[in-house]
Amino acid sequence: MAPAGSSGEVTVAMATPLIPTPLILTPGDPAGIGAEITLKAHQAGEGGFAIIEDPRRLATLADRLSIDAKLRIIDTPGDISIEDDHLPVIPLEWPQAPCAGTADPRNAPTVIESVRRAATWARDGSAAAMVTNPVNKAVLQEAGFAHPGHTEFLATLSAPHDGAPAMMLACDELRVVPVTIHMALRDVPDALTGDDIVSKGMLLAESLRRDFSCANPRIAVCGLNPHAGENGQFGDEDDQVIAPAVARLQAAGIRAFGPVSADTLFHRRARETYDGVLGMYHDQVLIPIKTLDFDGGVNVTLGLDFIRTSPDHGTAFDIAGTGTAQAGSLIAALRMARLMATNRHAGS
């Protein structure tokens, strides 16, 4: 990714490793907690990002939450000044005044358009990465959105990539990619293919190299069955599907190992033996990452030609507008995006 020309204006202080360009943050569903956690992240001292939002709405919300936020309206991410303590806002207008907790499908096209704008900036280098606030899939789909979620939509805005998109969950201590994601556990064994294990494994390895500075990443591959099948006694997928896929990854020069019994893979000493984990199903990797670091878990989309992270929670309509939302996961997503952009920039 090419750094933007505007980075020349930034004075780089030694103490703070600055990114060449800022992050761009989408509003998410305006009936959710996106604006609130954005203001709280800003209040907590997070900088270097611009939010696409209605500035009047943000100002009103900041007043109500007693957050002292000085907003600065800008046109593109390149206009932000990193030395500045203002919150940079790229304005949009909601067709309908957002109502906390009640999504309005008439706002859905604007939600989608904001994601498209952010992706465009992330692709052309005006932004170093995009971070997305949560959307409500059902409401978007009601308005005609044809994709299961953010991730699949973003893949259509990116150059195609084998195995893409893939979902990575990352915190400071653990990075995991599930090969199958949002499906009934009943459907997992049949849905699991060697090709998918290989392509997701390649994406994970590529991301660990580019975004997390692991020159030669070690990838632990989980078994599907208890004790990784115990030599075929408890299921044959481990021997017949996963082991050959691990061999293919190894043949491609990736330091993959497994299948490993998943229950022995996530304690502290085991985590020292790898840089990333390829899991076979959603909860196999979500249980360890959430149990380890509930607030710090960040959702990263792999296989796009730009960087995208998001907090790992939903719109939280149930608490929207009450002022009780926590910004921890958004802050972690912003920091993760910045770290990935810095590493990718340094390596390019």
Partner 1 sequence: MKPRIGIIPGDPGGIGPELIARLLAEDGVLGQADILLIGDRHLFEMGQAQAGLEIAMTDCDALTGDWTAIDGLALHDRETIAPEEVRLAEVTLANGRSALGNLNCALEMARDGIIDAVTFGPFNKAALIEAGLGHEDELHYMAEFLGVENYISELNTLNGIWTSRVSSHIPLKDVPDYISGHRITEAVHLIDRTLKRSGLTRPRLSVAALNPHAGDNGNFGMEEIEVITPTVETLRQQQLNIDGPWPSDTVFLKAKAGEVDGIITMYHDQGQIALKLMGFDRGVTVQGGIPFPVTTPAHGTAFDIAGTGTADVGATRAAFDIACDMVGHWDSTA
Give residues in contact with partner 1 (CB under 8 A): 181-190, 224-227, 229-230, 233-237, 262-270, 281-284, 286-292, 294
Q: Which is nearer to partner 1, 174 or 340 (CB)?
A: 174
Residue 339 C-beta: closest distance to partner 1, Å: 24
State the minimum distance, in angstroms, from the CB of residue 281 to partner 1. Answer: 8
Which amino acid type is present at position 152?
A: E
> Which residue number, 65 or 270, has a Cβ lying nearer to partner 1?
270
Provide, rounded to whole angstroms, the least separation between the CB of residue 291 and partner 1.
5
Give the residue with the Cβ less far from partner 1, 241 or 333. Answer: 241
Q: For residues 333 and 298, is the Cβ–Cβ distance under 8 A?
A: yes
Name the residue nearer to partner 1 (CB basis): 158 or 310. 310
Q: Residue 67 corresponds to which tokens in the numbers above?
A: 């957050």
The residue type found at 260 is V
Query: CB of 177: closest distance to partner 1 in angstroms?
Result: 15
| Alpha-carbon distances of 321 from 29, 31, 34, 161, 280, rounded to whole Å | 13, 8, 10, 39, 37
Give backbone dihedrals phi and psi of 53, rounded to 5 degrees, phi first: -165, 170
Per DSSP, 102 falls in state: B
Residue 267 Cβ vs partner 1, minimum distance, rounded to whole Å:
4
State in angstroms the smallest separation of the CB of 253 from partner 1. Answer: 29
**Radius of gyration of the chain from its Cα atoms, rounded to whole angstroms:** 21
Measured from the CB atom, the residue of 18 and 292 that comes closer to partner 1 is 292
Smallest gap from residue 147 Cβ to partner 1 (A): 15
**Tokens encoding 87:** 């919150």
Nearer to partner 1, 248 or 290 (CB): 290
Q: Closer CB to partner 1, residue 143 or residue 286?
A: 286
- Enumerate residues 6+ apart whose C-beta is below 8 A from 348: 1
Catalogue the long-range contacts made by 7-13 (C-beta closer than 8 Å, 24 or more residues apart).
9/81, 10/81, 10/82, 10/83, 11/83
- What are residue 165's phi and psi, to 5 degrees? -85, 160
Torsion of CA 227, 233, 236, 237, to 10 degrees: -10
